[in-house]
Amino acid sequence: MRIRFTKMQGAGNDFVVLDETTQRLNLTPAHYRFLADRHLGVGADQILTVRPAPQPDVDFEYLIHNADGGEVEQCGNGSRCFVRFVREQGLTDKTTVRVKVHGGVITLQEMSDGQVTVDMGAPVFDLPQVPFVAAHAQALDVTGQASPVATSNANAWQLGLSNGDAVTVGVVSMGNPHAVQVVTDVDTAPVLTQGPLIEHHAAFPKRVNAGFMQVMHRGAVRLRVFERGAGETLACGTGACAAVVMGIRWGLLDPHVSVQTHGGTLTIEWQGGDTPVRMTGPATTVFQGEITIPDTL
């Protein structure tokens, strides 16, 4: 099977984008893994698939598959690339579009300076919705001490890892699950050792994205994220949103924060409570092409 694709990136988080607005490709998890393979396929952190609107109040639908072939609920950097793709391909002339993803409906806006702003919706702290199983963690109160009450209002959670480490994380969903911890220096943080252990921790039945945040000052952080099903990426949009949300909730950050990742800088805004998180950053088309997917996958 030979298919057309577009390679895109947002702050270094890279994607293969597929157009299924006129015809379904009927790809399998093995096909997605092949496309994401950096040696045998195109190479990408995620595969984004554009589909027609499934309901009257949205403009499009898109699916997100990680490099391991599994479908996920949300991708912040991918959503910015999505709106750039549908405009460049002539699929819409709107600068603001509403899009259905597995994790809900999001609003995307292409700005006059070429940046894209995404309304990511309000963060979710309700534990079953994350999802998060409190029985596998220790709730901490605002002082960082163990709390006898395991509720969505817990300030943080202590996770015991299989290598003997104990880490303190904030738990939140930005359409997909995140566990955020504060570190002294992201350059020396144990992202590659703790990341997979947090991702597969028993407290997260659908696995989790593990964020490592260094607070520079109240308006800036540095961030590395070990993404569920993809490993460490150069940037993670939902991870940036989750990190800022937890930083604000912990009283460490102001409502407007610059997030520095290895792939670029994202701007995150959140006014607290049930207000939506807004993310602004770049989205770039790298190249277009065609690839033959082997029949033997």
Give the residue from 212, 225, 123 showing the smallest Cα distance to 169.
Answer: 212
Which tokens sit at 170? 């904030």
DSSP SS3 for 56? coil
Residue of 236, 257, 277, 283 marked active site:
236
Can 241 be counted among the known catalytic residues? no
- N-to-C CA span, the chain: 11
Distance, C-alpha 4 to centroid of its chain: 25
User: Residues 77, 237: contact at Cβ < 8 Å?
Assistant: yes
Which tokens sit at 189? 């943080």
Q: How many CB atoms sit inside 10 A of residue 232's CB?
A: 17
Residue of 75, 245, 246, 266 marked active site:
75
| Phi (first) and psi of residue 212, to 5 degrees | -125, 110
Can 75 be counted among the known catalytic residues? yes
Q: Which residues have a catalytic role annotated?
A: 75, 236
